[in-house]
Structure 1
Amino acid sequence: MASSFARRSDGHGGTGGEAPLSDMNTTPLIDVMLVLLIMFIITIPIQTHQVGIDLPHNRPGFPEPDPVRNRVSIDAQGVIHWNGAAVDRLTLRQYLAASLRMPVEPELQFQPDAAARYVTVDEVLADIRRAGVKKLGFIGNERYARF
């Protein structure tokens, strides 16, 4: 095993104690390099991975949720209507969520046709319940008084 000390002569022909060899200390150099590396990493601009998509805002012919009262109806063919405009279940859920984001929850009036399939009515009621609607009213029931 090599020693980092060398024998040194004391000048009188004898040998004195051991003296350390002078090697370059690289610790400060490594510290400076690490600091520079961190500075370069910080100054690199952050890469953002974005995909530009133009999402539809308001489709023409589709009404916005009314801040006071909205009506969901189902006709005999099973078509769902939001304030008179035909919508699919996904759009209905979006309208329900938009109406619940309003400062005051608007009343939701539900009016299924007597000939509408029970499955469709049940699915729409489940969507309304999942959305968290608290103000729900069934309208048009007086038509079925003599059913």
Structure 2
Amino acid sequence: MAFGGMLNDAGDGDNAEINMIPLIDVMLVLLVIFIITAPLMTHAVKINLPVASSQPNEDKPETVNLSIKADGSVFWNAEPVDATAWQAKMDLAAQQTPQPEIHIRADGDLAYRNVAQIMSDAARAGLSKLGFVTEPKTAAH
């Protein structure tokens, strides 16, 4: 059935319109088939699984505060140490599992070579978790 405009053509040519009704019928039948068969496609084997109550063992690494004053003095967790003492403590810390985190607090007026020396000693000992503790700048009002 073609809907024409105001013009009445005398020719009975082929109708180029697509009839959507059969297409919609087929899609609805397929939809009903899938709705019915989808629950049947889940195959599950009913078994009783054992119940275990275990929680992961999360060992948090120790934190070592390594402070360096402007005069070059070094403190391991607020305990003053000299170069051989902190190197020995770093060697012991590197053998721990998990390795402790080293938080370096350096004075702003300290020469960089002192911080670089601490970092190279930590790397030589095998410590890989180094961090720098800083104070954020406050905006002047």
* Aligned position for 1:140: 134
- Deviations, residues 21-51 of structure 1 (Å, cap 9, x unaligned): xxxxxxxxxxxxxxxxxxxxxxxxxxxxxxx
* Aligned position for 2:83: 89
Q: Is contact 2:122-2:128 (8 Å) kept?
A: no
* One-letter identity of the residue aligned with 2:103: Q
* Aligned position for 2:101: 107
* Aligned position for 1:119: 113
Count of aligned positions: 80
Q: Which runs of 5+ in 1 are unaligned?
A: 1-66
* One-letter identity of the residue aligned with 1:132: G
Compute the RMSD of aligned alpha carbons: 2.2
- Deviations, residues 37-66 of structure 1 (Å, cap 9, x unaligned): xxxxxxxxxxxxxxxxxxxxxxxxxxxxxx
* One-letter identity of the residue aligned with 1:140: T
Structure 1 stretches of 4+ moved >3 Å: 143-146
* Counterpart Cα distance in 1 of 2:65 and 2:124: 17
Residue 95 of structure 1, CA deviation: 0.5
Residue identity over aligned pairs, in percent, reads 29
- TM-score, scaled to structure 2: 0.51
* One-letter identity of the residue aligned with 1:137: G
Q: Which has the higher contact order (CA 8 A, sep 6+)?
A: 2
Q: Say which SS state the counterpart of residue 142 (structure 1) adopts.
A: coil
Residue 142 of structure 1, CA deviation: 2.4
- TM-score, scaled to structure 1: 0.49
Q: Which runs of 5+ in 2 are unaligned?
A: 1-60
Q: Say which SS state the counterpart of residue 115 (structure 1) adopts.
A: coil
Q: Say which SS state the counterpart of residue 93 (structure 1) adopts.
A: helix
Residue 118 of structure 1, CA deviation: 2.0
